[in-house]
């Protein structure tokens, strides 16, 4: 993160916010999250975003960003070829990062730092979403092989596509036993199923898919209920009604202790303390973003450490995926199952500004670590809770709230697939990343409110509310072969949306005497990627190569300012997504 030298703040100084060209999705998301700010506060900080940012490529829209920055490659792992998400996902992440950066800059101004401009880009949002995948791909120890293609969704005998979820091997084994599958065969599918969030693919044994396909949906649902496994029939509606608001907040009854001003030249959250009790991706990513903004983050882990530390591939003896989200945090091993452990966490919260967790509903109450509990020892605390579904389902909340079920329930699974394709979730952790960024934004917005009103707050977000942030059409998008990555003689090429919508123009470049998108797309296989890029550039079309190997991002000079290369024994990582000045 780059911050200009400290100069005195000028009260009321204002500049006009500039919207990014052709990025309505980003502006809609950022505007939704910034709507709570009064106009006077909005005028204090200028937010600037473009498509490419520090990436030295002609990125002009969502598709070229997804292709050049690796999203198409990771999303396409399940099918075996790069594919675009049919929603403005990278722009949505950039929208949340913009709102988060604006709130952080406003908080810094209240603390004496004269920050008046925050800059990010859609490309940096895309790279942030690939943090754990980039780390795994560049880890020096036990490098992960490219996973075989395969999705996790099942199809019933009556043709219904459904998604299952469990974190318990016994429930997995029992579900398949009820479908007539031998335990040893079911066990072969457990590892790829559990690792799909990390690999982006799920090559299940074909016998499992056939077993599911032999039973109607009612039988699958009964087997799931009896086994204690979540099952969702995937709806074809990309825009369901009743989705939750991004954030819910409630103010603390007490008043905060006076904040110390930030040191000269500090980051926006310098001097603030975060206590984080999280696991997997959503919660750790929220803490990671708060740390990038300058906060000190103390991570509470169970005795022996978080089990995710051992998830291969390793870098320096620690899981590269785990390190990508947790490096730079200090750690305290505490047993929350004991009264002494719970008291120890409460004592840590008493000296903190933010308490962050992603526990399922009810766990904070059982542990005695709710916002109300902690406000007794720290009235000004910001209590940030990230969950799977929040209270969207009331008492009927599913037992597990994970990324893929949030995609299904939120309509995102249907929206991100084009018309004519099964409405299955992406195995890239879309809502985990977006949910983590949303949680961090909620925490910083509550800190800003505390700086003004002197009160702490409880902030709640969820994977489901994060899914609801992604703009999507009322009907599923219709894509042609020109809207997806195009195979060339030596790789893949992506066209910007305006070029893909004009096959006649492309036909003139390719020499194909037809406007049929399929025939034009087939022509691209006859020449190399760079040859086509040059020819298209002469016609005014800014095509970009599609990244098919994530390590290439760390080697590409075009990404030098956006991706930090792997140090000896380490892994590559996206650089901070903001510049403050």
- Between 283 and 505, where is the model more confident? 283
Rounded distance, CA 322 to CA 221, Å? Answer: 34
pLDDT tens by residue, 229-256: 999 999 899 988 888 999 999 998 777 6
pLDDT at site 395: 63
Looking at every residue in the chain, the average pLDDT score rounds to 91
> Rounded distance, CA 412 to CA 431, Å?
9
What was the pLDDT predicted at 5? 33
C-alpha closest to that of 559 among 96, 144, 70: 70
pLDDT(2) > 50 = yes
Within 21-179, residue ranges assigned H as helices are 24-34, 39-42, 62-69, 71-75, 89-110, 122-129, 131-138, 169-178
Burial (CB count within 10 angstroms: exposed 0-12, middle 13-18, buried 19+), residue 362: exposed
Copy the structure tokens of residue 152: 């996790």
Is the model more confident about 270 or about 5? Answer: 270
46 with 16: CB under 8 angstroms?
yes
**The pLDDT of residue 70:** 98
Task: Write down the pLDDT at residue 454.
Answer: 85
Which of 405, 64, 353 has the alpha carbon at shortest distance from 232?
405
pLDDT tens per residue across span 428-483: 999 999 999 999 999 999 999 999 888 899 999 999 999 999 998 888 999 999 99
Confidence band (pLDDT; 50, 70, 90) for 359? very high
Mean pLDDT confidence for 81-89: 97
Evaluate if residue 1 carries a pLDDT over 60: no
Pair 550, 565: CB distance under 8 Å = no
Q: Is the pLDDT of residue 6 over 60?
A: no
Q: pLDDT by residue (tens digit) across 299-333?
A: 999 999 999 999 999 998 999 999 999 999 999 99
Question: Inter-axis angle of helices 183-194 and 206-213, to 10 degrees?
Answer: 110
DSSP code string of 251-319: E-SS-PPPPPPPPTT--TTTT-EEEEE--TTHHHHHHHHHHHTT-EEEEEE-TT--GGGGPSSEETTEE
Query: pLDDT value at position 238?
Result: 92
pLDDT in tens, 400-431: 789 999 999 999 999 999 999 999 999 999 99
Closest alpha carbon to 358 in 403, 304, 318, 323: 403
Write out 415-467 in H/E/C secondary structure.
HCCCCCCCCCCCCCCHHHHHHHHHHHHHHHHHHHHHHHHCCCEEEEEEHHHHH
Q: Does the pLDDT of residue 551 top 70, yes or no?
A: yes
Read off the pLDDT of residues 275-294 as tens digits, 9 standing for 90 and up.
999 999 999 999 999 999 99
Query: Given this model, what pLDDT does residue 15 score?
Result: 28
Burial class (CB in 10 A: 0-12, 13-18, 19+), 241: exposed
Provide the pLDDT for residue 265: 72
Beta-carbon neighbour count of residue 181 at 10 Å? 21
The average pLDDT across 92-100 equals: 98
The mean pLDDT value for 15-31 works out to 61
**Banded pLDDT at 22 (limits 50, 70, 90):** very low
Interatomic CA distance for residues 32 and 392, integer angstroms: 20
Give residue 196's Cα distance to chain centre. 15
- How much is the CA Rg of the chain, to the nearest whole Å? 24
Q: Could you give the count of Cα atoms lying within 13 Å of 300 in the half-sphere of its Cβ?
A: 23
Mean pLDDT of 548-573: 96
What pLDDT, on a 0 to 100 scale, did the predictor assign at position 400?
76
Q: Which of 332, 343, 256 is nearest to 298 (CA)?
A: 332
Please list the residues that pair with 354 across neighbouring strands. Answer: 274, 382
* Per-residue confidence (pLDDT) for residue 515, from 0 to 100: 83
Burial of 392 (0-12, 13-18, 19+ CB in 10 A): buried
Count other C-beta atoms under 10 Å from residue 11's C-beta: 7
What is the pLDDT confidence band of residue 386, given thresholds at 50, 70 and 90? Answer: very high
């Amino acid at each position: 993160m780059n911050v200009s030298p400290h100069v005195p703040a000028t009260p009321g100084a204002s500049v006009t916010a500039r919207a990014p060209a052709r990025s309505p999705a980003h502006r809609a998301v950022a505007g939704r999250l910034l709507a709570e700010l009064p106009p006077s506060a909005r005028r204090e900080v200028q937010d600037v975003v473009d498509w490419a940012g520090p990436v030295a490529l002609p990125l002009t829209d969502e598709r070229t960003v997804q292709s050049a920055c690796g999203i198409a490659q990771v999303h396409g792992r399940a099918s075996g070829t790069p594919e675009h998400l049919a929603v403005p996902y990278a722009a949505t992440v950039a929208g949340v990062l913009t709102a988060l950066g604006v709130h952080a800059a406003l908080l810094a101004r209240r603390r004496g730092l004269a920050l008046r401009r925050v800059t990010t880009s859609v490309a940096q949002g895309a790279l942030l979403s690939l943090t754990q995948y980039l780390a795994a791909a560049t880890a020096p120890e036990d490098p992960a092989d490219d996973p075989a293609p395969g999705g996790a969704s099942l199809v019933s005998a009556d043709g219904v596509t459904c998604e299952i979820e469990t974190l318990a091997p016994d429930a997995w084994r029992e579900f398949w036993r009820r479908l007539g599958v031998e335990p040893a065969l079911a066990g072969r599918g457990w590892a790829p199923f559990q690792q799909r969030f990390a690999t982006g693919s799920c090559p299940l044994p074909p016998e499992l898919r056939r077993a599911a396909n032999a039973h109607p949906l009612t039988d699958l649902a009964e087997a799931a209920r009896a086994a204690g496994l979540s099952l969702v029939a995937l709806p074809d509606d990309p825009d369901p009604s009743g989705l939750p608001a991004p954030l819910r907040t409630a103010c603390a009854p007490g008043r905060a202790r006076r904040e110390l001003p930030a040191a000269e030249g500090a980051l926006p959250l310098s001097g603030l303390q975060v206590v984080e009790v999280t696991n997997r991706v959503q919660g750790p990513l929220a803490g990671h973003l708060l740390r990038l903004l300058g906060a000190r983050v103390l991570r509470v882990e169970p005795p022996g450490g978080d089990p995710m530390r051992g998830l291969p591939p390793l870098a320096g003896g620690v899981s590269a995926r785990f390190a990508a989200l947790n490096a730079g945090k200090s750690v305290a091993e505490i047993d929350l199952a004991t009264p002494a452990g719970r008291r120890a966490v409460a004592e840590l919260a008493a000296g903190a500004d933010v308490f962050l967790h992603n526990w399922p509903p009810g766990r904070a109450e059982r542990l005695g670590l709710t916002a109300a509990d902690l406000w007794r020892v720290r009235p000004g605390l910001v209590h940030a809770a990230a969950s799977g579904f929040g209270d969207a389902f009331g008492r009927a909340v599913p037992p597990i709230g994970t990324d893929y079920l949030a995609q299904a329930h939120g309509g995102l699974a249907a929206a991100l697939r084009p018309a004519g394709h099964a409405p299955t979730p992406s195995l890239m952790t879309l809502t985990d990343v977006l949910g983590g960024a949303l949680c961090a934004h909620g925490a910083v917005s509550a800190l800003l409110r505390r700086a003004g009103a002197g009160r702490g707050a409880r902030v709640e977000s969820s994977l489901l509310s994060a899914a609801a942030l992604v703009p999507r059409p009322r009907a599923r998008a219709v894509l042609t072969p020109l809207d997806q990555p195009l195979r060339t003689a030596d790789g893949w090429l992506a066209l910007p949306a305006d070029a893909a919508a004009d096959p006649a123009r492309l036909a003139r470049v390719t020499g194909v005497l037809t406007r049929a998108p399929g025939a034009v797309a087939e022509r691209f296989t006859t020449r190399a990627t760079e040859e086509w890029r040059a020819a298209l550039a002469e016609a005014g079309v800014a095509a970009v190569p599609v990244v098919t190997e994530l390590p290439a991002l760390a080697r590409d000079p075009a990404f030098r300012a956006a991706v930090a290369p792997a140090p000896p024994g380490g892994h590559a990582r996206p650089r901070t997504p903001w510049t403050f000045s």
